[in-house]
Structure 1
Amino acid sequence: MRIRTAVRVEGVVQGVGFRPFVHGLATGLGLAGLVGNDARGVFIEVEGDRDAVERFLGGLREPPPLAVVERITTRALPPGGPRGFAIVGSDATGRRAALVAADSATCDECLRELRDPANRRHRYPFVNCTGCGPRFTIVTGVPYDRPNTTMARFAMCDACAAEYHDPADRRFHAQPVCCPACGPRLVLCGADGRALPGDPVEAARTFLADGGVLALKGLGGYHLAATARDESAVAALRSRKHREDKPFAVMVADLVTARLLAEVDPAEEALLTSPRRPIVLLRRRAGAPLAGAVAPGNRSIGVMLPYTPLHHLLAAEPLVMTSGNVSDEPIAHRDEDAFARLGAIAGAFLTHDRPIHVRTDDSVTRVFRGRELPVRRSRGYVPAPVPLPPGGPAVLACGAQLKNTFCLAHDGRAFVSHHIGDLENYETLRAYEEGVAHFRRLFAITPSVVAHDLHPEYLSTKYALDRGLPLAGVQHHHAHVAACLADNESAGPVIGVAFDGTGYGTDGTLWGGEFLIADLTGFERAGHLLPVPLPGGAAAIREPWRMAAAYGVPAGLDVARRNAANWDRVVALARRGVGSPPTSSVGRLFDAVAAVLGVRDRVGYEGQAAVELEQRADPGERGAYPVRLDGDAPFTVRGADIVAAVVADLEAGVPVVSARFHNTVARLVVTGAARLRERTGLTTVALSGGVFQNVLLLDRTVTGLEAEGFKVLVHRRVPPNDGGISLGQAAVATARALTR
């Protein structure tokens, strides 16, 4: 029996070769019909034998590698349509709901062309096809067609047009298709913007080999690059960028080179070679051939493989590849801005004339127990949505102050933005506002509710208050736990443990060591670290020795002697509480212990003291200090007792103090969770907050909880740090609306 069926496919089905895939599937089964893009996804009509149509519908569930099929719906049509199968023009009418694909690393077939002297795209730095290349960073609108990308200005030559229109070619309807005759052009310029002679790639490689710092226009913005084995070049980059200590990432040509620098297990290899191509934090090999200034004093190294053709052409030697900005500013992505802001850092610019529509930093991730644990979710991952319960209002969640992301949520999808950065200057705020406006246009979401942090001085909070829309204030640590719940597609309730630097509490103090009984609609503060003063406010975050003083470390200890000129004054400040807001922060407890152990008195980036304290820990040590929970509903824990035990071990010459401290914090979580299980009957624990980026602590904590029979939820799609806060805010605002 001959039938005709209308099919609608929703998900990531535009810009990933889905229409050519449908064309091939249908013609292979002898079906007639059509396929096209529209504002919702892909529409299809197929006509032929019932059995062939059913096999066609089953085949749609096995799409091309970059596609994600979320939903397929069908309806019967009367047979008798035209013979043959065609890709038809796009329909841009109606409410936009189509998903946009993330940028994807260059595929093997395109790399073969790049390296083939006989191919017309030999050494062409913009080679791509339906299976790879730029997507999110060049999209200006939907449907995903060339006029809605920054490739619109480049008219295809006859050869590229022939590929684009040939159903048998892998560039069939590949929107960024181009070649040296018709596509973007590369140019190497001096810092003054004048073009330099010679082949741009070869001249750039020579410039790097001679110790230069290069500004390189990538997929989502400019990088600053230097040869990773050249101590003076890396030191110059660090000095000019004003980045004193924070480690740089390294791009290497292949896995063989990656293994020379670091240990790579199978899960890490899978991440390194995935189409997303994140920076993966790996265990550094002793004696790895890198300049000391790449990651000073760090046992880990961030490694990534090339993800654009241009990277493949440049990365014969390991290269430092860091965001093209001065510290604390957003990454440069427009050419004129890059020359203005990076001219004092880079001696040359390798740039091109394909505009970047959305600035997008590299993603950073690591592996925990064989699974991905995101640290920064951006290029290669965004804008893939996180599922939320269907229904509820359209929500704009404004995120946190540090490591900011925003989130737009509607119709069961939460679109968490690319990494924006710390909202502490005008440039970053402008990037934030531009990003919100672009997401609103791209996904046709007009928010009716704005979710925000409770901190009145966060720029993200002020932005929310200025929208003139109904507000949903979400406490910072509730948002952390809610993000972990949403990340695991759970509604709770759970025992939520949120450990971080600081977050504004409902009582106006700075929280950060929290045990919550929480679901997506609300929470109870069920336990916390006993608050101590934060002497000098933000100064104590920059100078961890102040937290040692706040925790009552004896004046005769080395940390006091190292800071003798200000020690008594800071101790007095803490005792009086003047300019010293109380905080329950576990992050600040880590700072105090790091200072006591001589790890770090002053930090150059957020969390540095805790990162270096983790590096000192002996993973074989299992000892821990006693933990006592005082009171109930909420219980409290005296961090001062833990610090006192650290001091006693230090004075006794015990060599494994850092490991014992980590074990103690893990024991604290297990003990607190057990207390709350007795009271509530809850058996699931959700772990969130920046402190749980520490994989040693996370491993000890999960091991201890599971040994006690708990189910443990950890992050897997958004970071546990403040980069996940916007998802938590969106999840809370949605859940509250659905339960009214």
Structure 2
Amino acid sequence: MRREARVEGVVQGVGFRPFVHTLARRLGLAGHVGNDADGVFLAVEGSSEGVARFLDALKAEAPPLAVIDRIEVTEVPPLGAARFDILPSPPGGVANTLVSADSATCADCLRELADPGDRRYRYPFVNCTNCGPRFTIVRGVPYDRPRTTMAGFALCRDCAREYADPADRRFHAQPVCCPACGPRLRLGTAEGDDALRVAVRLLGEGRVLAVKGLGGYHLAVAAASEPAAAALRSRKHREDKPFAIMVPDLAVAGDLCEVDPVAERLLTGRRRPIVLLPRRRAAPVAPSVAPGNRMLGVLLPYTPLHHLLLTDFAAPIVLTSANVSDEPIVFRDDEARDRLSGIADAFLTHDRPIHVRTDDSVARTFRGRAQLQRRSRGYAPEPVVVGQDFRRHVLACGAELKNTFCLAKGRHAFLSHHIGDLENYETLRSFTEGIEHFGRLFDIAPEIVAHDLHPEYLSTKYALDLAESGTVEPVGVQHHHAHIAACLADNAESGPVLGVAFDGTGYGTDHTIWGGEFLLADLAGFRRVGHLEPVRMPGGTAAVRQPWRMAAAYLGATDDTGDLDVVRRHAREWPAVVSMAASGVNAPLTSSAGRLFDAVAALLGVRDTTNYEGQAAIELEQLADPAVRGGYPAGISAADPVTVSGADLVKSVVDDLRAGRAVDVVAARFHNGVAEAIRGVCARLREATGVGTVALSGGVFQNVLLLDRTVDLLEGRGFRVLTHSRVPTNDGGVSLGQAVVAANTTGPVRQ
């Protein structure tokens, strides 16, 4: 008998063809297997028992990096085939195949790396079909060596033999190489192991080292050295934001932090994100690594070079994206020399080109599952599979901050790697180049372009410029609706839900700044059914950078002009700022939950000015005592939409401060009060709408204390609660939400 099959999913660049070849040969079957633009095609011929066993094993025994979405099998007449072949990839066709993410070095390659008798001993670019670079080196599909940045490295005789041997682990492994034919490591005039020795010495001397990785350059220093960490922070112009730490192994991670089973799987899995973990009190980490933070961002080595560096240095190192603050990660060698010359003392680099810059992913754990804070290396460009088909090709341009874009077709939403904040030319170039690259890889020609409603966002302007061609239909998606839609898509649901979207800034349909929203929403639309009472933002965007201004606005709203530390700290500017808020001149209205957290942070003396987005709220969470129960009351109106009085929460904070209450207790009661207000509003809205599922989204819900309290209270009242896992709750998930909203609000396929 003979069967033909089509296999779709992440099946190229993961050893699927050699797996099929080996399986067929083992079962005594003839036929063929090959890659094309749709994935993998194959045919098997032989005994009925052998063919049946082959089809059963096709998914059950697939290679570790393979992700199979679908297998379609067709019965065809036997041809009398006598052998099983791997066919060359045919040219042309519509690209429907998927591209694997970069994967951490596998155990087999690590054994070779450490074996003095192996020809790849201490070779920093060892890889096989089960690990190594993928997305960051792919230039086109089908995924073959000539379409990767390894095209310039001709295989030596030994590597060519492995590549052609179906029994070898490197059979058709496109990045295969060795010291004789592959990339070379360099530091100044030193090469190979000599370059590593110099790098280790420099780290020991407290120097700042630029290291070329999978998706770009990193900056590294010894994590225990305060002078080195402080020098890196100063040169990088990164005043307070924490650095990530790479540790040699899981045991060292456990010495620094508390590691739960989910975190352990994240740290040691093939994707290797930075994992945010509770730090131990005695963790030997320099103060400048994560100043004032109870958490550390920890990751394990994910390339052979990292393994060698960490093994030889024998201590944790800071490993942070190589860039000047607010610019994207540097990935081209000439740009690295130019942009990092004032930061790095030396460059540990190599000659394998990076095609796509890709930052490290960031994750944490929450209630037994992973939650992505930044979805990038190790995850992109593997798609998010959604519950409904995209009937037309969609491009969603995302938000201004923490930007990602999303290209979608079929049931696949190709969420991009982390782009960053669209505030400079370099990031915008990364955004536009990324869209073009994804379009080519996945053969997506957008018919719909979704964008934020904010007219000044660069992503919005890009979308509207694209729509001027007349071939693409623009769809504006309100920011907070996109957040809730992203949460629905993340959970493969369609709604309706009561969506709680809490963040810093989002352009509302009434042209004010939203950010503390309760929406009755599904994938097609929403109604604003509640929000925080609006207050003024004195100075507009200045109030985002200077949280004390929001304290002035809230105190002004409660007519409180009493003697508080925050007033004394800003005595000279205070009257003018209060007057600005009262008059409404240069003081737009906002319902932002982020700005409410800013106000309380300033009142408690946590943070008057910020150096990065969300800093005041992050540090307020760090201050709060999680053992404290009970929260401050907040008035909830009976209007439609209902409103929540943030001023009530602020008044209670001020009353406790004047009563001499400890600030960690006050911070905790404030968090609890916000969670109780969310529960109160959702309970009232359930009575009015009959909807008993709540979706929580927006950057404020990166706050684990608030999220935990809110989920507890809602579930205690019988609500079903949806939170994020596969995509970020912050603006990194907005493009996915825009894509599914656009797909559900536009007409059928154009004829």
Q: Is the 8 A contact 1:393 1:737 kept in 2?
A: no
1:409-488 alignment, distance < 5 Å: 409-467=408-466, 468=468, 469-488=472-491
Give the length in aligned residue pairs. Answer: 734
Give the CA deviation at 1:198. 7.6
1:647 paired to 2:654: yes
Deviations 1:131-190 (A, max 9, x none): 00000000000111101100000000000011111111111111100000000011103x
Residue 639 of structure 2 corresponds to residue 632 of structure 1 = yes
Choose the corresponding residue for 1:310, options 305, 311, 317: 305
Residue 252 of structure 2 aligns to which amino acid in structure 1?
A: T
Aligned counterpart in structure 1 of residue 575 of structure 2, from 568, 572, 576? 568
Secondary structure of 1:205's match? helix
For the Cα contact (< 8 Å) 1:392–1:735, is it kept in 2? no
Give 1:296 shift: 0.5
TM-superposed CA distance for 1:93, in Å, is: 2.3
The AA in structure 1 aligned to 2:250 is L
Deviation at 1:197, TM superposition (A): 10
Counterpart residue identity of residue 329, structure 1? E
Q: Indicate the residue corresponding to 1:345 in structure 2.
A: 343
Q: By how many angstroms is 1:521 displaced?
A: 0.5
Structure 2 SS opposite 1:180: coil
1:99 is matched with which residue?
Answer: 98
Is 1:249 the counterpart of 2:256? The answer is no
324-333 or 388-397, which deviates more:
388-397
Q: Say if 2:186 and 2:192, in contact at 8 Å, map to a contact too.
A: no
Q: Does the CA-based 8 Å contact 2:390-2:408 persist in structure 1?
A: no
The runs of 5 or more residues in structure 2 that have no matched partner are none
The answer on whether the counterparts of 1:186 and 1:350 sit within 8 Å (CA) in structure 2 is yes
Distance 1:197 1:150, change over 3 A: closer
| Aligned partner letter, 2:736 | L
Q: Deviations over 1:478-522 (max 9, x none)?
A: 000000000001111100000000100000000000000000010
Residue segments in structure 1 that go unaligned for 5+ positions in a row: none
| Aligned residue in 2 for 1:86 | 85
- Quote the offset at 1:401 in angstroms: 0.3
Q: Which residue of 2 aligns with 1:221?
A: 216
Report if the CA contact (8 A) 2:184-2:192 is conserved.
no
What code does the residue aligned with 1:472 have? V
Q: What amino acid sits opposite 1:384 in the alignment?
A: E
Q: 2:34 aligns with which of 28, 33, 36?
A: 36
Matched residue type, 1:323: S
1:549–1:567: 8 Å Cα contact kept in structure 2? yes
- Select which of 581, 584, 589 maps to 2:591: 584
Residue of structure 1 equivalent to 2:721: 712
Looking at structure 2, the residues matched to 611 and 494 of structure 1 have their Cα atoms a distance apart, in angstroms, of 28
The alpha-carbon deviation at position 738 of structure 1 amounts to 5.8
Q: Judge conservation of contact 2:45–2:81 (CA < 8 Å) in 1.
A: no
- After TM superposition, give the deviation of residue 627 of structure 1 in Å: 2.4
1:619 aligns with 2:619: no
Aligned residue identity for 1:687 = L
Conserved? CA contact 1:555–1:561, under 8 Å:
no
Give runs of aligned pairs for residues 470-509 of structure 1, distance below 5 A.
Answer: 470-509=473-512
Partner of 1:175: 174
Deviation of residue 294 (structure 1)? 0.2
Give the distance between the partners of 1:600 and 1:305, measured in 2 at CA.
32
Query: C-alpha displacement at 1:24, in angstroms?
Result: 1.6
Q: Which one is further off, 215-224 or 619-628?
A: 619-628
Amino acid at match of 1:490: E
Residues 58-86 of structure 1: CA deviation (Å, up to 9, x unaligned):
11122111101100101122212421211
Contact 1:477–1:503 (Cα < 8 Å) also in 2: yes
Structure 1 residue 241 displacement after superposition: 0.3
Q: Separation in 1 of the partners of 2:334 and 2:100?
A: 28
Using the aligned pairs only, state the percent identity: 67
Change over 3 Å in CA distance of 1:256–1:641 after alignment to 2: same
How far apart are 1:620 and its partner, in Å? Answer: 1.2
Deviation readout 1:96-132 (Å, 9 max, x if unpaired) = 0100000000001101111111111011000000000
Mark the CA change 1:703 to 1:51 in structure 2 (over 3 Å): closer, same or farther: same
Q: Is the 8 A contact 1:391 1:738 kept in 2?
A: no
Q: Which moved more, 1:648-657 or 1:317-326?
A: 648-657
Cα offset for 1:639? 0.6
Post-superposition CA distance 1:289-326 (Å, at most 9, x none): 01110000100000000000000011121110000100
Bigger mean CA offset, 366-375 vs 88-97: 88-97
Partner of 1:385: 383
Q: If the length of structure 1 is used for normalisation, what is the TM-score?
A: 0.98
Give the corresponding residue for 2:673. Answer: 664
CA distance in 1, matches of 2:193, 2:78: 62
Number of the residue aligned with 2:732: 723
Note closer, same or farther for the CA distance 1:284–1:197 as it changes in structure 2 (3 Å cut): closer
Whether contact under 8 Å (1:548, 1:593) holds in the other structure is: yes
Aligned pairs for 1:251-400 (under 5 A) are: 251-315=246-310, 316-388=314-386, 389-400=388-399
Contact 1:693 1:720 (C-alpha < 8 Å) held by counterparts: yes
Q: Secondary structure at the match of 2:746?
A: helix
Q: State the distance in 2 between where 1:104 and 1:731 align.
A: 28
Once the two structures are overlaid, the 10-residue window that deviates more, 77-86 or 4-13, is 77-86
3-state SS of paired residue (1:629): coil
Instruction: Name the SS for the 2:439 alignment partner.
Output: helix
Is the 8 Å Cα contact of residues 391 and 748 (structure 2) preserved in structure 1?
Answer: no
What corresponds to 2:566 in structure 1?
A: 559
Alignment of 1:687-706 (within 5 A): 687-706=696-715
Counterparts of 2:135 and 2:710 in 1: how far apart (Å)?
37
Do the aligned partners of residues 75 and 570 (structure 1) sit closer, same or farther apart at CA in structure 2, a change above 3 Å counting?
Answer: same
| SS in structure 2 of the partner of residue 551 of structure 1 | helix
- Map of 1:118 onto structure 2: 117
1:539 aligns with 2:548: no
**Pairwise CA distance, 1:259:** 1.0
**What is the deviation of 1:209?**
0.7
TM-score, normalised by the number of residues in structure 2: 0.97
Q: Structure 2 counterpart of 1:119, which letter?
A: D
Match of 2:745 in 1: 736
Instruction: Tell me what 2:515 maps to.
Output: 512
Q: Are positions 1:674 and 2:683 aligned together?
A: yes
SS at match of 1:181: coil
One-letter amino acid of the structure 1 residue matched with residue 346 of structure 2: A
Equivalent residue of 2:389, what SS?
A: coil
How far did 1:196 drift? 8.1
Relative to structure 1, the CA distance from residue 324 to residue 630 in structure 2 (aligned partners, 3 Å threshold; closer, same or farther) is same
Secondary structure of the corresponding residue to residue 280 of structure 1: strand
Q: For the Cα contact (< 8 Å) 2:185–2:191, is it kept in 1?
A: no
SS of structure 2 residue aligned to 1:311: helix
C-alpha RMSD of the superposition: 1.2
Q: Does 1:595 align with 2:602?
A: yes
1:184-231 Cα offsets, whole Å, 9 max, x none, are 011103xxxx66898101111101111110111000000011111111
Question: How far apart, CA to CA, are the structure 1 residues paired with 2:158 and 2:561?
Answer: 77
Larger deviation, residues 380-389 vs 95-104? 380-389
- Deviation per residue, 1:416-455 (Å, 9 max, x gap): 0000000001111111111111011111100011100000
Structure-2 residue corresponding to 1:524 = 527
Report how far residue 21 of structure 1 moved: 1.1
Quick check: 46-55 or 643-652, which moved more?
A: 46-55
Q: Displacement of 1:554 after TM fit?
A: 3.2
AA aligned to 1:6 is E
- How far did 1:633 drift? 2.0
Counterparts of 1:560 and 1:301, CA distance in 2: 33
Query: For 1:136 and 1:477, how far apart are their aligned partners in 2?
Result: 31
Maintained 8 Å contact 1:366/1:372: yes
